[in-house]
A and B are shown apart, each in its own frame.
Chain A
């Protein structure tokens, strides 16, 4: 893990496009995510948030170039790539009978050979990760016995076990209640500082996106329509336009942005 803290990675996207059959799901998205930054990708359903993340994770074919610390990522072997970029899917597959520790150890896969088997060091690292994420007491429990919040942290632990400097999160908190949601994002933020991670995440909740991301990218029909600090991107008129809803952006007493959806009709309950 020592090597990780010093190697923060810059992620560059150069005119990234993704085509599903004949429709363009992503249109020439370009951006530079600096090392240690948290880029929040926002947009309405179907705007291309997941597609962007899945293209970055090399899970869908794309046109354009992804550069990691200046080097084109396309020619990298999958194993090598998985040591640089960890991906947390929206709905992770959770084998119910697997033990927590064995699940996290799967994250060591990019560091093992094809026929390699995890050693004591791999398991020790994973155990300390579980400890760090507050799951120290659940190491030997099966996934079936863990709560939603615990599973979320477990999936994060597996991604961290890859020891990749870039962390991609696709709507990481959509299945959690409000408290667990803030807790999980808080944890990602701590880890980002601790390990110098570059985080790119799709975020549904605009208020949370404003509070955690250092920069926001607003997608509409696969194209970037706004990019910048949360205060710049979260504009009432443009949000209303791109989300097709009335919203109000307020500033809380301590200066944080809050996005409130409003009812369409004037009728009061």
Chain B
């Protein structure tokens, strides 16, 4: 008996979309491990058991009796955990902002500070430190306002430029606005030399004063920002074929860019307002994700968010342990890793094929 071969060619299974599940899972496992480690390590060495015990005692729906000593409970809950959580949120936001900016500006070296948010926040923070005579209440608000103002100016100036590529004129406007804001900030700083130390340490970035109120302050902004950015993940992939082709596919690249820049700025300005200007996270993390997983923004965005959190928690652990009991500025730690990493990215094989 012969089997009749079907005339229709075998139907192949429908190809699966780029899968983000596995990298997300791996990144989450790493994040949990890093967070627990960073909570346990410190001047007073706590066991993992103590950390877990304190954490469990704060679960809302389950209240096991905390067996750790009140001092250890306070160390975990009031000192280390807020710092770890804040570091995680800030790192997550900086990485997401970097990945998004690299997408909408199609520039592998774009970071969340590209459009002047850092210079603006720096000016705002300096004004606050000088005028409020070191009371730190106004600092985050002033930094946030300064950062948002600088990016808004950049956008207004850049999007009116009459060049063919609106993207690059916005980047150039960002350079100009950042230069002006930095000049103002430097001038102000020089005139108030007495406040040099707090201004300088804010600029280098630190999480040493982290508290739950900081977390509460920035969480809403970062959350909104993250949701908007993640919602644009497919459109960021469309932009990978360039503005003209994206237009031919029915997309308005300028609108996508405006929405993404607005969201990334909101979150980044909030993050740096409590952490200071931590550099390189927004470049290192997305590029490592691209090199190790997949360049689709469906993977790059969520995985960068999770890995950015792990990265900054680890860097902050380094900042407080490398020279304990003194602290190394967090920006110094991230830049120390970031510099060599740049060289690695530039030399890596895949970057020759285009990292975006």
Contacts and interface: CB of A to CB of B under 8 A. Distances in A.
Interface in A134-151: 136, 139-140, 144
Nearest to A82: B250
Given A136-B12, A139-B12, A123 B17 contact: yes
Contact of A106 (B12, B14, B238): B238
Nearest to A78: B250
Nearest to B353: A96
Contact of B249 (A99, A107, A118, A139): A107
A131 B238 contact: no
Given A89-B245, A93-B242, A98-B296, A118 B251 contact: no
B21 interface: no
B252 A123 contact: no
B159 interface: no
Contacts of B248: 57, 59, 82, 86-87, 89
A233 to B, nearest CB: 28
Nearest to B354: A96
Interface residues of B, number: 32
B356 interface: yes
Contacts of B250: 77-83, 109-110
A115 to B, nearest CB: 5
Interface string B1-21: 000000001001011111000
Interface string A55-92: 00111000000000000000001111111001101001
Interface in B291-323: 294-296
A78 to B, nearest CB: 5
Interface in B225-259: 231-232, 234-235, 237-238, 240-242, 244-245, 247-252
Contacts of A101: 15
B58 interface: no
Interface in B271-303: 290, 294-296
B294 A124 contact: no
A201 interface: no
Interface centre among A87, A114, A124 (most CB of B within 10 A): A114
Nearest to B11: A128
Contacts of B234: 112, 115-118
Contacts of A58: 247
Closest 7 CB pairs of A and B: A82-B250, A110-B250, A79-B250, A93-B242, A97-B295, A96-B353, A87-B248
Interface of B: 9, 12, 14-18, 231-232, 234-235, 237-238, 240-242, 244-245, 247-252, 290, 294-296, 350, 353-354, 356
Given A94-B241, A114-B235, 13 more contacts: A59-B244, A78-B247, A78-B250, A82-B250, A89-B245, A92-B241, A95-B241, A99-B18, A101-B15, A102-B237, A103-B241, A116-B234, A140-B15
